[in-house]
């Protein structure tokens, strides 16, 4: 029975949960209706629903905390009503919902919600029948600007963070059915190309006919920089190459492309190893749009001349740091390209959401760009959302900036190689090389290596700095990729070892009900059903560590379940004497939920590890 029969005093239509709505959202709608019907003058009050974290089952699963606030508001109007009484009225006005088993008033005026087992059981059956479906959200056209390394410079650990976080955000938003545009805002433009081109002309005079074998572009960069600083004649030529590049003179464009290709190849191998997909649209793409955005801003009277430069203040107070839109030599800057880019994204790409995944060091830059875009009517905060998804720096185990032993910056390819080496050692230390076939071992090694590098980045609050430690990330206990991947593999093996075929789930579901009688079965069911809440929370706040914590919770709650609930019963001889179908279905549901989360987090589970 639901609460309808007892307490539907409000009389509103029963609240029907959409299969695709999250539990929190459904409860928000139930209590929203209750507030509107019991206290119509406060119908716009935001509903406060919180999951109950208490281990004690007597407080229920979720809680509505609106009574205290409503009591205050009533008092302002001269009406005295105790929060507990308000809570009772809210309870009485809640429309019937199949999700809710019962409501109880507790403490100062909380309404505790107890979820219905029938609902949970059918929700899990649906999940097994249809796969994990996304919660319903308002669809947006969202551009994610991530990775974005710079040509001729090392792609460093900061870019690695942006790459990992950006890829996972895209996967999350794509799963939620948003229209996602993945953009690599490559640093492929700017005055440094003048000296690189001039140096190329000298070192490889035949570059137009034969691809120059530049093996170390960083070194090439250093050489050209040295000449630029020491040789006046070279410097002049470098400047003239910047001009010819911006004008689009074919030879300079060709030289520039050759140089870019060297870096591009290096970046691509990293992307392939980490399974990253991103479309290149570097700063050079905006050359003509920089010219037009400057005209646009000038036309609006927003540019001010300051010591020969043209600057723009983020707002009318003219405080803070202005953007440099045109340099005194007439050239453009990083600010100019970001103004051109935001305009292109909003006005031409027609995005309504832009996400920049860039280190915290650039937060002033992005705040200024956002304000300036608003001031110049490029961005309308009522219809556009812009986020700087910032992250902290990567530290070594000594707590200092991440460097190699000799003090050099760490090459990403070397870092990934080291991860491969360490994960093989991890597998060997557990004797896995003796049981797995060479192919299985290699798959497990890759899954562990890249999985642990991604996961150790994603599982912390991205804003804080994080300590890069292979030892820590390869631990098989705690909230690590290793623990999650092992647990997943174990879960998958349960159905396989039952001696029965669990591949045709829709067929099996016709004959089997999911029973949630045991306390641990019920706990696991409720944990799994939090998935939609978590996904929505992650996409609202753009934090992925919530999803990692959820995976860890699923694995630990699963382990509790598995320890106290027999899925397969064996006799003393080790023969299977009973298979609990409902529980095996719970295992399969757990695996399905984890699989979806792993995909978003970039973890590739393997069937044997």
Give the tokens for residue 144.
């994610």
Cβ nearer to ligand ARG, comparing 388 with 583: 388
Contacts to ligand ARG from residues 443-482, by CB under 6 A: none
Cβ nearer to ligand ARG, comparing 117 with 156: 156
| Partners of 183 in beta bridges | 145, 279
As measured in angstroms, the least distance from the Cβ of 520 to ligand ARG is: 47
Can you list the alpha helix ranges (DSSP code H) found in 410-515?
412-429, 432-435, 438-458, 470-473, 481-496, 505-511
As measured in angstroms, the least distance from the Cβ of 187 to ligand ARG is: 4
As measured in angstroms, the least distance from the Cβ of 304 to ligand ARG is: 23
Task: Give the strand pairing for 304-306 and 309-312.
Answer: antiparallel
Cβ nearer to ligand ARG, comparing 26 with 185: 185
Helices 157-175 and 531-541: crossing angle in degrees, nearest 10, is 130
As measured in angstroms, the least distance from the Cβ of 180 to ligand ARG is: 16
Distance (Å, whole) CA 386 – CA 537:
17
For 528, the 3-state DSSP assignment is helix
As measured in angstroms, the least distance from the Cβ of 284 to ligand ARG is: 12
Phi-psi label, residue 233: left if phi above 0, alpha if psi -120 to 50, beta otherwise: alpha
As measured in angstroms, the least distance from the Cβ of 474 to ligand ARG is: 29
As measured in angstroms, the least distance from the Cβ of 387 to ligand ARG is: 12
Contacts to ligand ARG from residues 174-203, by CB under 6 A: 185, 187
Cβ nearer to ligand ARG, comparing 207 with 286: 286
Distance (Å, whole) CA 133 – CA 120:
15
As measured in angstroms, the least distance from the Cβ of 324 to ligand ARG is: 14
Cβ nearer to ligand ARG, comparing 7 with 336: 336
As measured in angstroms, the least distance from the Cβ of 158 to ligand ARG is: 7
For 95, the 3-state DSSP assignment is coil
Distance (Å, whole) CA 282 – CA 184:
7
3-state secondary structure 397-410: CCCCECCCCCCCCC
As measured in angstroms, the least distance from the Cβ of 183 to ligand ARG is: 8
As measured in angstroms, the least distance from the Cβ of 338 to ligand ARG is: 5
Contacts to ligand ARG from residues 355-414, by CB under 6 A: 356, 358
3-state secondary structure 531-600: HHHHHHHHHHHCCCHHHHHHHHHHHHHHHHHHHHCCCEEECCCCCEEEECHHHHHHHHHHHHHHHHHHHH
Distance (Å, whole) CA 116 – CA 601:
31
Q: How many CA atoms are closer than 13 Å to the CA of 383, on its beta-carbon side?
A: 10
Instruction: Please report the sign of the dihedral spanned by the C-alpha atoms of residue 242, residue 243, residue 247, residue 250.
Output: negative
Cβ nearer to ligand ARG, comparing 150 with 423: 150
Cβ nearer to ligand ARG, comparing 386 with 603: 386
Distance (Å, whole) CA 168 – CA 189:
27
Are 15 and 26 in contact by the 8 Å Cβ rule? The answer is yes
Own/partner pairs for 47-55, CB < 8 Å, 24+ apart?
Answer: 49/24, 51/24, 51/530, 51/533, 52/112
Cβ nearer to ligand ARG, comparing 394 with 554: 394
Cβ nearer to ligand ARG, comparing 45 with 362: 362
Are 300 and 354 in contact by the 8 Å Cβ rule? The answer is no
Look at residues 100, 69, 61 and name the one whose alpha carbon lies nearest to residue 87: 69
Distance (Å, whole) CA 480 – CA 500:
32
As measured in angstroms, the least distance from the Cβ of 323 to ligand ARG is: 12
Cβ nearer to ligand ARG, comparing 171 with 185: 185
Cβ nearer to ligand ARG, comparing 119 with 146: 146
Are 136 and 502 in contact by the 8 Å Cβ rule? The answer is no
The size of the chain, in residues, is 609
Cβ nearer to ligand ARG, comparing 221 with 483: 221
Look at residues 169, 164, 145 and name the one whose alpha carbon lies nearest to residue 282: 145
Q: Binding string to ligand ARG for residues 124 to 163, with x set by CB under 6 A, is what?
A: ---------------------x--xxx-------------
| Partners of 579 in beta bridges | 568
Cβ nearer to ligand ARG, comparing 158 with 419: 158
Q: How many residues sit close enough to ligand ARG to count as binding (CB under 6 A)?
A: 10
Contacts to ligand ARG from residues 290-349, by CB under 6 A: 338, 341
Are 198 and 234 in contact by the 8 Å Cβ rule? The answer is yes
As measured in angstroms, the least distance from the Cβ of 334 to ligand ARG is: 7
Are 60 and 113 in contact by the 8 Å Cβ rule? The answer is yes
Instruction: Using CB under 6 A, list all residues that contact ligand ARG.
Output: 145, 148-150, 185, 187, 338, 341, 356, 358
């Amino acid at each position: 029975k639901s609460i309808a029969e007892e307490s539907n005093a409000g009389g509103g239509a029963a609240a029907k949960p959409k299969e695709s709505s999250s539990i929190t959202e459904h409860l928000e709608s139930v209590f929203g209706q209750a507030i509107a019907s019991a206290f119509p003058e406060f119908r716009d009050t935001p509903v406060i629903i919180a999951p109950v974290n208490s281990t004690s089952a007597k407080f229920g699963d979720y809680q509505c905390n609106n009574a205290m606030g409503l009591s205050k508001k009533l008092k302002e109007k001269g009406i005295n009503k105790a929060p507990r009484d308000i809570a009772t009225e809210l309870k009485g006005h809640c429309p019937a919902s199949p999700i809710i088993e019962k409501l109880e008033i507790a403490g100062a005026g909380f309404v505790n919600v107890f979820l219905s087992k029938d609902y949970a059981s059918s929700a899990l059956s649906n999940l097994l029948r249809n796969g994990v479906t996304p919660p319903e959200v308002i669809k947006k056209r969202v551009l994610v600007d991530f990775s974005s390394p710079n040509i001729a410079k090392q792609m460093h650990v900061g870019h690695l963070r942006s790459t990992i976080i950006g890829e996972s955000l895209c996967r999350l938003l794509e799963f939620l059915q948003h229209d996602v545009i993945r953009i690599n805002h490559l640093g492929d433009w700017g005055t440094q190309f003048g000296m690189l081109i001039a140096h190329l002309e000298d070192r490889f005079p035949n570059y137009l006919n034969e691809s120059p074998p530049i093996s170390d572009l960083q070194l090439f960069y250093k050489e050209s920089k040295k000449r630029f600083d020491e040789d006046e004649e070279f410097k002049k030529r470098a400047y003239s190459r910047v001009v010819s590049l911006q004008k689009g003179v074919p030879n300079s464009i060709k030289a520039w492309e050759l140089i870019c290709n060297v870096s591009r190849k290096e970046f691509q191998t990293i992307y392939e190893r980490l399974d990253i997909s991103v479309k290149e649209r570097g700063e050079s793409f905006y050359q003509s749009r920089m010219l037009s955005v400057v005209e646009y801003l000038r036309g609006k009277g927003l540019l001010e001349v300051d010591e020969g430069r043209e600057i723009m203040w983020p707002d009318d107070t003219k405080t803070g740091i202005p953007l440099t839109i045109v340099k005194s030599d007439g050239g453009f800057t990083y600010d100019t390209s970001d103004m051109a880019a935001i305009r292109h994204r909003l006005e031409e790409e027609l995005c309504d959401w832009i996400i920049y995944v860039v280190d915290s060091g650039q937060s002033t830059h992005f705040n200024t760009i956002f304000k300036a875009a608003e001031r110049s009517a490029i961005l309308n905060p009522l219809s556009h959302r812009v986020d700087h998804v910032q992250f902290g720096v990567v530290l070594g185990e000594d707590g200092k900036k991440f460097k190699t032993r000799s003090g050099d910056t760490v090459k990403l390819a070397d870092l990934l190689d080291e991860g491969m080496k360490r994960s093989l050692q991890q597998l060997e230390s557990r004797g896995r090389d003796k049981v797995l076939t060479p192919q299985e071992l290699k798959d497990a090694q890759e899954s562990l290596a890249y999985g642990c590098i991604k996961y150790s980045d994603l599982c912390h609050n991205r804003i804080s700095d994080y300590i890069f430690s292979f030892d820590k990330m390869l631990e098989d206990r705690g909230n690590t990729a290793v623990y999650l991947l092992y647990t997943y593999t174990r879960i998958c093996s349960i159905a396989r070892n039952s001696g029965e075929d669990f591949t045709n789930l829709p067929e099996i579901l016709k004959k089997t009900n999911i029973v949630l009688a045991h306390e641990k079965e019920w706990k696991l069911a409720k944990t799994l059903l939090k998935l939609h809440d978590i996904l929505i929370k992650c996409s609202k706040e753009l934090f992925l560590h919530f999803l990692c914590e959820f995976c860890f919770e699923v694995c630990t709650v699963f382990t509790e379940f598995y320890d106290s609930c027999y899925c397969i019963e064996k006799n003393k001889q080790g023969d299977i004497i009973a298979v609990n179908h409902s529980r095996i279905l719970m295992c399969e549901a757990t695996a399905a939920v984890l699989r979806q989360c792993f995909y978003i987090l970039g973890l590739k589970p393997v069937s044997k590890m």
